[in-house]
Amino acid sequence: MSTAANQPPQANRPQAVPPKRDMVESKAPEQFKFDRIGQDIQGVLISIEPVQVKGKPAIEYMFQNEQNGARLTILGTNDLNKKLLAHHIGHFVQIRYENDDASIVQQGQSPMKMFHVSVAKNVEPGFEKLAG
């Protein structure tokens, strides 16, 4: 019969050594806002999420920069929401703010921002699980 009295004292047991870990800070994505015609962003689209902005529903797109791994988010616009689709997740995307379309203006709002969106045909290596 084994009892605590039959066990060697704790001090005599080898202690588990925690593994060495190379830690890096995990930062929240930067919120990017297109405010000048000609601005562009590029990266792998990693998520599309519904969010609330000032009490109204919106869509947030998250990208990962291929050079440094930094993440950034942008809020959807009418034009972007039509061009960025769920099946683009895992693909490299380039977005350029092209112009403002003054012909599409609702009362009390700014002209609609128009974007040129290019999406790579294939999923980026390492992002296959996101593309599901």
Q: Tokens 């995990």 sit at which residue?
A: 26
Residue extents of the structural domains in the chain: 29-131
Written as tens digits, the pLDDT of the chain (132 aa) is: 555 556 555 566 677 888 888 998 888 899 999 999 999 999 999 999 999 999 999 999 999 998 888 999 999 999 999 999 999 999 999 999 999 988 866 677 788 899 999 999 999 998 888 876
Contact, 114 vs 77, CB < 8 A? no
d(CA 56, CA 76): 12
CATH class of this structure's domain 29-131: mainly beta
